[in-house]
Structure 1
Amino acid sequence: MSIENELIARLTITFSPTRLEVVNESHKHAGHSGDDGTGESHFAVLIRSEALAAMSRVARHRAVHQALGDLNQRIHALALDIG
């Protein structure tokens, strides 16, 4: 399974989002630091979920990173827009 699909699956299972967009931005960073050549190193995530809405900004980020687990080690950059 691709990292993008794993991101989508884990975030969907954990947060049941009302809106979820995962964008692979790795092509914008080809040849830069953190580019491992897989084409799956840089992602942007927009997520909206009732489960996250009541949390503080820091708690939201922690919850997302916890849900992603080992994927955090396989991704070089993750931009989050959480609400």
Structure 2
Amino acid sequence: MVSDTQDGPVTAEIRDRLTRAFAPTSLDVVDDSESHRGHGGYQEGGESHFIVAIRAPGFEGQSRLARHRAVHAALGEDLIGRIHALALDIGV
């Protein structure tokens, strides 16, 4: 898990919103922006490309699409609009 002390503001907001929405048993938010330097959507200073792995009991019985929609809804359009790429690994 990534330490909160290293989180930028977008990373911290992703972590906060997902924690409040799902009370996950496991949550890992990785700013993967540096891996995309020179590619479309890259922003100086990072926080444009993320990998999120989340496990929460509330996802049980939901399809993959429903889980993705739930995560996007929890993050909200305002936050999603600030992210160029979001890779999700969602489970129970």
- TM-score range with shorter-chain normalisation? over 0.9
Distance 2:29 2:60 in 1: 19
Alignment partner of 1:49 out of 56, 70, 81: 56
Alignment partner of 1:24 out of 21, 31, 34: 31
CA deviations on 1:7-65 (whole Å, 9 max, x unpaired) are 00000000000000001100101121001223110000000001112211100000000
Q: Percent identity?
A: 57
3-state SS in 2 of match to 1:46: strand
3-state SS in 2 of match to 1:54: coil
Alignment length, in residue pairs? 83
User: What residue is the counterpart of 1:3 in the other structure?
Assistant: 10
Distance 2:14 2:55 in 1: 14
Length-normalised TM-score, structure 2:
0.86
User: What residue is the counterpart of 2:66 in the other structure?
Assistant: 59
Give the unaligned 5+ runs of structure 2: 1-7
Distance 1:55 1:42 in 2: 26
Length-normalised TM-score, structure 1:
0.95
Give the unaligned 5+ runs of structure 1: none
Moved over 4 A (4+): none
User: What residue is the counterpart of 2:5 in the other structure?
Assistant: none
Which structure exhibits the higher relative contact order, with contacts defined as CA atoms closer than 8 Å and separated by 6 or more residues? Answer: 1
